[in-house]
Amino acid sequence: MTAPPPPLGLLAELTHRCPLRCPYCSNPVELSRASAELDAATWGRVFREAAALGVLQLHLSGGEPAARRDLPEIVAHAASAGLYSNLITSGVTLDAERLRALAAAGLDHVQLSVQDAEAGSADRIGGLRGGHARKLDFARAVEAAGLPLTLNAVVHRQNLDRLGGLIDLALELGAGRLEVAHVQYYGWALRNRDALLPSRAQLDAATRTVTEARERLRGRLVIDYVVPDYHAKRPKACMGGWGRSFIAVSPAGRALPCHAAESLPGFDFPDVREHSLAWIWTESEAFQRFRGTGWMPEPCRGCEHKERDWGGCRCQAFALTGDTAATDPACAHSPHHHLLDLAVQDAAVAGVEFTYREMGAATAG
C-alpha cells in the first residue's frame, strides 16, 4: 500500500467532561475520567508532531474543552506549533474574560453548538436550564473579541421544524458559517434514535430550506449541510474515508481514525504517549485496517463509487450489523439496508422522550 497523504485536520478531544447532557452525544459510551487526560505539555508535543506531519487545522473539542483550566496553555501550544486552532464549545462555561485570554494565547476561531432556536426547547434538549441564554451571551463575546464564529446546529426530529429560526439566529449572532448537522446514529445517539430520527417529510423540507437559504444568503453566510443516512441510498465518505484525511486523539491519548471509533471492538488504538503521530498515521494497523479499498467486501469491492464513499461509516455498520467490515447499511445494495427502513417506521410511532447523557448515569427526559 502506498503511503497515505498527510491528514488535513486533527481533532484534539481534551476532555469528556461536559455541563450538557445531550441525548445525541457523540462521545463514547465509556467516558475517560479527568485523571486520565493528557496534560498540556503532552498536547503541545502532539501539536508539534501534527504540524510536522502536515496537519493544517486543529479542532479543540471534548466534551467541553473549557472544563480544562489549562486551556489557554493548550491554545498557546497550538499557536506555537503554527496550527490554525478552532475551539468547539457549548459556550455555557466561558465568559468574556476567559475568551479574551484564549484570544491572547492565539485562538483563531470559535465553533459554538446550539440545540435549537427556541430557548425552552434548546434547554430541554441540552439538559441545562438557562443554557441557551448563556450561549447567546458567549456568542456576543466572540464578536466583541474579534474572533470568527461558526454556529453548529445538530438537528433532528425535535428541532428540525425550526431550522429557519436557526439560520436567522446564525445571522443575528454574526456567524460567518452555519453547520447544519443531522444526528448520526451510533453510540449514545443510537439509544435515542426513536425520539430523534426525523421523518422523510421533515428531511425534504429541511433540504429545501437549506437550498433556498444558501442562494438567498450567498456572500453573507456559508451553510454546511450534513444529512442523515437513514433516508439515503448511498453512504457518505465518513470523515473523508478511514485514515485518509483526519486523525483524532481522545482525552486519554488514544489516536483514532474517527472520533467515534473507540466504540469498535477488536482494535488496539495506539497511544500518543507511546508512539509518534507520524508512525500512527503511516504504520499502525488500526489506521490501515479500513484505509483504501482492499478490505472491502462485495458489493463494495466491485462498486464504481468505492473511491468516493470509501465504504461509508464503520461505526454505523457495526452498530447496525455487528460487523465492522460490513457494507454500510446506508447503501441500497447492502443486504442490511432494510434495517434503516425499519428504524424509520419505528420512529414514526415512537414518543418524544429521550435518555439524557450523564457522566455517570442516564436519566429520562
Residues comprising the binding site for [4Fe-4S] cluster? 18, 22, 25
Query: Residues annotated as binding site?
Result: 18, 22, 25
- SS3 state at 131: helix
- SS3 state at 269: coil
DSSP string, 273-325: TTS-HHHHHHT-HHHHTTSSSTTPPTTTTT-TTHHHHTT--HHHHHHHHS-TT
- Whole-angstrom distance, CA of residue 58 vs CA of residue 108: 10
Burial profile 21-46: b = 16 or more Cβ within 10 angstroms, e = fewer = bbbbbbbbeebbeeeebbebeebbbb
- Whole-angstrom distance, CA of residue 47 vs CA of residue 150: 23
- SS3 state at 155: strand
- SS3 state at 232: coil
Burial profile 226-256: b = 16 or more Cβ within 10 angstroms, e = fewer = ebbbbbbeebbbbbebbbbbbbbbbbbbbbb
- In the numeric block, which cell numbers belong to residue 196? 430523534
Q: Which residue has the cell 444529512?
A: 227
One-letter amino acid of 15: T
Burial profile 286-316: b = 16 or more Cβ within 10 angstroms, e = fewer = bbbbbbbeebbeeebeebeeeeebbbbbbbb
